[in-house]
Amino acid sequence: MTQLPNFSIKNSNSSPANTAKDPQVAPPKSKPKPPQQHPWLIVGLGNPGKKYNGTRHNVGFEMLDAIAEAEGIPINTVNFKALFGKGFIGNVPVMLAKPQTFMNASGESVGALVSYYKIPLKQVLVIFDDLDLPFAKLRLLPKGGHGGHNGMRSIIDRLKGSRDFPRLRIGIGRPPGKMDTANFVLRPFNKQEREELEFTFQHGIEAVRILVLEGFDKSATYVNSAKAMEQLG
């Protein structure tokens, strides 16, 4: 076997004794890593398919689309049975999701996303339509029950009964006369209602921004204040 040449170079001024006395050079200190920031999961509820576009029951989808457009977050992938997008609000990471399971099974998607990404429930915001609020009004709550909303019922069931996550309710009003509730929520908005909703969406965008960047209390004060309601007309 051919012996490889030895390329070590000896310093004529050094000796084993001198080398031992040389001070040890300490390795550079590594900078501490900032704590990892949990993302927010913001969910809009609705039904998939063109036939449901623009209906009252899909106003959660529309609010989420408005947030995505305002913050420059594309919702262009499918993840855990949801149309999905990742981005930032300010410097805070967020994930936007529109479950494609149909309303009554929304929890299948939300539960899987929460579990996989290990998101604290206090950072899971669900946006949905509410029959019990006056039309175009917003209400932000830190927790609560499903209030008869089947999408929320499904989510609570999939989160093992936990109700401790914030929700943004959007009022769609009550059905006129003796109209069946199920038919009412699947009706589209008229032109005047659409104009009112544009103000609602703008308030919702700002409310979510405050929630993510400054916390629940400040956002709730903004959403539920008389000033915000007056601006809705």
pLDDT exceeds cutoff 70 at 101: yes
Confidence class for position 5, pLDDT limits 50, 70, 90: very low
Q: How many of the other CB atoms lie within 10 Å of CB of 196?
A: 14
More confident residue, 177 or 95: 95
* Beta carbons within 8 Å of 58's beta carbon, 6+ residues apart: 46, 47, 52, 129
Catalytic center residues: 57
**What does DSSP assign to residue 49?**
S
Looking at per-residue pLDDT, the higher value among 226 and 110 belongs to 110
Residue 194 has pLDDT above 50, yes or no: yes
Question: Which band of pLDDT confidence, cut at 50, 70 and 90, is reported for residue 224?
Answer: confident
Question: Band of the pLDDT at 9, cuts 50, 70, 90?
Answer: very low
On the question of pLDDT at 229 being above 70, the answer is no
Across the chain, what does the average pLDDT equal?
88
Does the pLDDT at position 124 exceed 90? yes
Alpha carbon distances (Å) from 154 to 46, 96, 100, 101, 157: 13, 18, 13, 11, 5
Of 11 and 154, the structure prediction assigns the larger pLDDT to 154
Instruction: Give the distance, in angstroms, between the CA of residue 77 and the centroid of all CA atoms in the same chain.
Output: 15
Which single residue is written with the structure tokens 């917003």? Answer: 138
pLDDT reading at 20 higher than 70: no
Which residues are bridge partners to 82 per DSSP? 79, 99
pLDDT at res. 225:
81
Q: Comparing 6-15, 44-53, 78-87, 213-222, which segment has the lowest mean pLDDT?
A: 6-15
* Domains of the chain, CATH where assigned: 40-231 (3.40.50.1470)
